Structure 1
């Protein structure tokens, strides 16, 4: 593990756990309703630092770094929502988190949906921030995902132009001032995480990435928190998927992909309202 991607992840004092051959770094602190926070591809548990600062006095908050990101070790299997859902199930079992609220962003949101569909009695609620898997995996989507995978593979091979383009790309992903510091850390680690980003984007092109068939099995309450400036995981293309959930509502936020990073106070307030209304 190199120092640059570590700065994106959970803190230096994080605990470690080995699950299915992967050493995962995580933090699990606080008392109250349990939140398990699942980050986007190429990010890390540090994405949720502002949420912990704002809400850590009233929740038990667990954050982890997905394999090959943040402070976690590599995985012999490629990155995908399916793989992350498997690791999530093992993590929850190992930590005794029997009925958590899963807070998932992007691929982390897709993993949370898969877990809730497979173990509906083991999840209290979902808070999903621009989750993957809701838009159709049509020809256009597959072509775009494969182009993105090629871009990241080139970055992993050391293409000279990659750092500048990756920085430009991330100006559109994390747009607002509160996310600037984390965006800078992600951009600095770009070459280190390019390989896992390529794997994930390849998985997004797989028809199995369409979560439509499992959505009716998600019976717990769901709060969608959408950064409406997202040009990659767009609200318009995800709308039908959102409406297919049996028990869901939507709140909109400014930003490009991660409302808990880009509008942390508003996100924390929405989270409190949602959790306070849970049965």
Structure 2
């Protein structure tokens, strides 16, 4: 379990993250959503070790992780971040990109683990291709496979759907749920798209101006009417679907 308590970070005199506390269980997906500048990406970078906060405690399975010292290697132990740009090695194959995360292990274990991950992430058929030869969704799944190769306890995904077409988004959403459940990782997923969060997350945290306004299940988020900001935020995601269904839905057959 990942646990954050009273995380605070400022840029000059402005709160980027304002007294945030949350927890994520193994095998659970928590989506953090909010407008640009709400603090969600800053919070993700604090958890990953890329930004040092002014205050707060981070622990994994009740073990406090030191987030207050400068490191040559930014990553914190047992926490892996998949950035928006994937950071795959362009001249290496998909197989080799995943294998690079396992260089300290035996050749036999590396072969077995990479093969297992490629099957889990649905990328076995492209193992000999270079990143430039595969789709955005396949790049994203390769980056996830590489990140979980050493079986981290926490996986952080920064806008994993932002550069994908609708088919790849749908495939990746289902794959993320499958991966997190099978590997039993605590996952935090940052997205600006509330609809993606509804479709993939067990719980959703809505941020505004550095503060977490609400953490709850997708259903309870949909039924929140007291907080006007949350109500408007949810409406902005759901209204286009309502408009489409009212305009075209009655005359369309969605059977596939």
- Is the TM-score greater than 0.5? no
**RCO (CA 8 Å, sep 6+): is it higher in 1 or 2?**
2
Give the TM-score, by structure 2 length.
0.27
Between structures 1 and 2, the one with greater helix share = 1
Larger radius of gyration: 2
Between structures 1 and 2, the one with greater strand share = 2
Give the TM-score, by structure 1 length.
0.25
